[in-house]
Amino acid sequence: MSATALAKRTTTTTLSTRKGGDPIVCLTAYSAPIAKLLDPHVDVLLVGDSLGMVLYGFDSTLPVTLDMMIAHGAAVVRGSTHACVIVDLPFASYQESPQQAFRNAARVLAETGCAAVKLEGGVEMAETVAYLVARGVPVMGHVGLTPQSVNTLGGFRARGRNAEESESILADAKAITAAGAFALVVEGVMEPLAEAITAAVTVPTISIGASVACDGQVLVTDDLLGLFADFTPKFVRRYAELGPMVTHAAATYAEDVRHRRFPGPEHVFRVKRKTPPSEMAP
Ligand code: KIV
């Protein structure tokens, strides 16, 4: 990326200053063409490990690898010029030790050109967040419903349903932000807890299913576009229904091919000859 391109991008520092101000707009992106379409409208393009479920058809985000995140992260950086691009560290690429986290986060930054990484977890990840930030890796935290912990959380269900769970998630939010995270995704928590977290931390909170109390919002783009139809979480508003449009386009194309209506004359390469072939010298 050139220095000029870097200068135009929203930075993690700018995002930090947006606490309590205009809501931060964030969407997921996994490819260059989608990044290009979303880029003028958002502050953040998040290359989420949700791509494991949305693009690759896995049941959870656990099988996503660092190489997948790097390939998709680099594509999103290439497809955008304005938004701050943040790439998820996938499961098992950072939980072992701060050193493992640094090694892998450094690869993500160097090989994609993104601005920051996001990692899931609370109190137990605070040491790692501090280690990364001290070594030049901007970190976005992610607390509440943390999909990489689906097996220990007992499923994808909203969190903060009782006082004990709420206090523990609030402690997670405080620990991660005290460790130096520049922003915090708060996923799938009860509204009063989202309010309490947003009031307690000094960096912007970005909600996914955590109400309007947060400093910004993120959605999975395929959910918003109606492209991921396996299930629609309660917190998603669909702004388009592209799924049926894709089905209709594919069915119409298939009919056209089967009835030799496609390609038409306008799609065919023809040699333009000035001299009729019959008059050409042998
Ligand atoms: O993986 C992802 O897309 C995410 C967002 C939904 C916050 O983490």
| Pocket perturbation via mutation, ligand 1, pick of 94, 187, 232 by most ligand atoms within 8 A of CB | 187
**Is residue 96 annotated as a catalytic residue, yes or no?**
no
The residue count for the chain: 282
CB proximity list for 100: less than 8 A, separation 6 or greater = 93, 94
CB proximity list for 240: less than 8 A, separation 6 or greater = 224, 225, 226
49 is in an annotated binding site: yes
* H or E element that contains 85: strand 84-88
Q: Which amino acid is at 161?
A: R
What does the mean pLDDT of the chain come to? 94
Q: Which amino acid is at 218?
A: V
- pLDDT at 279 (0 to 100): 66
Give residue 220 CA to ligand 1 midpoint distance, Å. 7
Whole-Å CA distances, 199 to 89, 120, 122, 160:
27, 20, 17, 16
Q: pLDDT tens digits for 203-262?
A: 999 999 999 999 999 999 999 999 987 778 899 999 999 999 999 999 999 999 999 999
Low-confidence ranges of the chain (pLDDT < 50): 1-6
Q: Which amino acid is at 15?
A: L
164 is in an annotated binding site: no
Q: Return d(Cα 5, Cα 2) in angstroms, integer.
A: 5
165 is in an annotated binding site: no
Q: Hey, what domains does the chain have and what are their CATH numbers?
A: 3-240 (3.20.20.60), 245-279 (no CATH)
Of 96, 164, 165, 187, the active-site residue reads: 187
